[in-house]
């Protein structure tokens, strides 16, 4: 009889734990109090952010190619231009509540390796 009660107790504990996770808060526009590490943005804002990040990354690659093809040392100019581009896109991302990450890529420019940071969009929850 004790073994049966032990199994019943174990089953009840498992069921209660599963039901507790089913009631977890899910972030959504209708539930702003739910906490999450992911931002919630509208589809239009997300598409605009994707376009800005894509354009910024293409511009950064073009600037790197220009710096690689020129004979003079223009690394300071390149880094300043990349910082301006990254700052603009990051400001927009923060204004809509999304996050941007920079993933450094090594390029060989004017006899030395330079770390340039293309942009990545952090995961977000998109609502219509």
Residue 43 lies in a domain: yes
Residue positions counted in the chain? 128
**Owner of token pair 């174990």:** 10
The pLDDT value recorded for residue 34 is 47
Domain that holds residue 113: 36-127
**Who wins on pLDDT, 11 or 64?**
64
The answer to whether position 19 is within a domain reads: no
pLDDT at site 19: 60
Mean pLDDT of 51-65: 95
Residue 20 resides in a domain: no
Domain presence at residue 77: yes
pLDDT band with cut points at 50, 70 and 90 for residue 5 = confident
Q: Look at residue 14 and tell me if it is in a domain.
A: no
Distance of alpha carbon 120 from alpha carbon 101, whole angstroms:
5
Q: Is residue 80 included in any domain, yes or no?
A: yes
SS (H, E, C) 73-121: CCHHHHHHHHHHHHHHHHHHHHHHCCCEEECCEEEEECCEEEEECCEEE
pTM above 0.85, yes or no: no
Total domain count, the chain:
1
């Amino acid at each position: 009889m004790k073994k049966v009660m032990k199994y019943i107790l174990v089953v009840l504990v498992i069921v209660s734990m599963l039901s507790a996770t089913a009631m977890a808060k899910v972030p959504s526009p209708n539930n702003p109090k739910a906490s999450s590490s992911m931002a919630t943005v509208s589809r239009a804002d997300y598409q605009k952010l994707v376009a800005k990040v894509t354009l910024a990354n293409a511009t950064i690659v073009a600037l790197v190619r220009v710096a690689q093809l020129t004979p003079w040392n223009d690394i300071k100019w390149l880094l300043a231009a990349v910082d301006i581009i990254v700052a603009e896109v990051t400001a927009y991302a923060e204004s809509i509540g999304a996050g941007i990450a920079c993933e450094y890529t090594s390029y060989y420019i004017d006899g030395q390796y330079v770390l340039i940071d293309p942009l990545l969009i952090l995961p977000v929850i998109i609502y219509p």
